[in-house]
Structure 1
Amino acid sequence: MSYLFYIAFLEQSSEDSSYNTKRDLLACVGFFLVFGMTQTPDGVFVRPHPTLWRLALCFSVLYEIMLIYILFQTVDDARQLLQNIDPKLGVPLPDKDYGGSCRIYDWEHPEDPFHYFKDKMGFFVLSHFFDWWLKTLIVRDYW
């Protein structure tokens, strides 16, 4: 609350509307998080502290509000908003043909016969494999 008092009465006002909007949104988010930490009821989790879980609940509510806001924007406006968060967005990605050839070994390229396999193998294939492996451990230990 003292931060809001400082912003409202003591901080020098700025003519930059972008800075004012960011500062005001940050103040609103901070107020909501502090209010939620003190006023929302306790959940089922008690360790390490119920306040931490109330804060997590408030973060998830803010995230849902942000998703709802983006849902009602046009595609171009939503992309522009996301580019403000990460400037690397908005660049077209290279298009890959994942279903073109299912061969693993190519006899016609003796210098690199596994080039089809290397081209298709990516981060998501490895993450799915690790996820399946971890789930088998969980199911095996459960039964």
Structure 2
Amino acid sequence: MSYLFYIAFLEQSSEDSSYNTKRDLLACVGFFLVFGMTQTPDGVFVRPHPTLWRLALCFSVLYEIMLIYILFQTVDDARQLLQNIDPKLGVPLPDKDYGGSCRIYDWEHPEDPFHYFKDKMGFFVLSHFFDWWLKTLIVRDYWLCMVTSIGFEILEY
């Protein structure tokens, strides 16, 4: 509370409305997190400390509030909001041809015969591989892993 008092009354005010909005939102989020850590009931987890789990609950509630806010925005407004969070957003992504040539080794390009493989092997492919690997370690059932993987692929489509 003393930090909020300092921000509200003692900190020099700024004429930049963007800075003021960000500062005010951070103050509201900070207040909600501190209030939630002290007032929410303990959950089922007690290690390492119940306060940590109450903080995790408050973060998830804030995340849900943010998703609901974005849900009621237009597509352009939501994109503009996300560009304020990360200025690198809004740039068109490079379109890769994953279904073009399935050759791994290209005899016609001796200077870089693996260029097809390097072009298609990216973060997307590696994340799918490690997702499958981690899922098999956790679930340990081939058919259940297959069903969930196919389900996620349908969701991505």
Does the C-alpha gap of structure 1 residues 86 and 112 become closer, same or farther in structure 2, counting only changes over 3 Å?
A: same
- Deviation digits for residues 86-121 of structure 1 (CA, Å, limit 9, x no counterpart): 111222222111112222233333333322222111
**Unmatched tracts of structure 2, length 5 or more:** 144-157
In 1, are the aligned partners of 2:42 and 2:50 still within 8 Å (CA)?
Answer: yes
Report how many aligned residue pairs link the two structures: 143
For 1:123 and 1:74, the matched residues in 2 are separated by 30
For 1:113 and 1:48, the matched residues in 2 are separated by 52
Does the C-alpha gap of structure 1 residues 133 and 69 become closer, same or farther in structure 2, counting only changes over 3 Å?
A: same
For 1:103 and 1:141, the matched residues in 2 are separated by 31
Query: TM-score if structure 1 supplies the norm length?
Result: 0.86
For 2:113 and 2:58, the matched residues in 1 are separated by 53
**1:91-102 → structure 2 map (5 Å cutoff):** 91-102=91-102
Query: Identity across aligned pairs (percent)?
Result: 100
Does the C-alpha gap of structure 1 residues 135 and 13 become closer, same or farther in structure 2, counting only changes over 3 Å?
A: closer
Partner secondary structure for residue 70 of structure 2: helix
More displaced 10-residue stretch of structure 1: 56-65 or 128-137: 128-137
- Deviation digits for residues 6-33 of structure 1 (CA, Å, limit 9, x no counterpart): 2233233332222221111111111110
In 1, are the aligned partners of 2:136 and 2:142 still within 8 Å (CA)?
Answer: no
More displaced 10-residue stretch of structure 1: 107-116 or 19-28: 107-116
Does the C-alpha gap of structure 1 residues 140 and 95 become closer, same or farther in structure 2, counting only changes over 3 Å?
A: closer
More displaced 10-residue stretch of structure 1: 131-140 or 109-118: 131-140
Does the C-alpha gap of structure 1 residues 114 and 12 become closer, same or farther in structure 2, counting only changes over 3 Å?
A: closer
**Unmatched tracts of structure 1, length 5 or more:** none
- Deviation digits for residues 57-76 of structure 1 (CA, Å, limit 9, x no counterpart): 00111011111111211222
More displaced 10-residue stretch of structure 1: 38-47 or 96-105: 96-105
CA shift, 1:83, in A, is 1.5
Partner secondary structure for residue 108 of structure 2: coil
Query: TM-score if structure 2 supplies the norm length?
Result: 0.79
- Deviation digits for residues 34-69 of structure 1 (CA, Å, limit 9, x no counterpart): 110011111110011101100010011101111111
Partner secondary structure for residue 48 of structure 1: coil
For 1:37 and 1:75, the matched residues in 2 are separated by 34
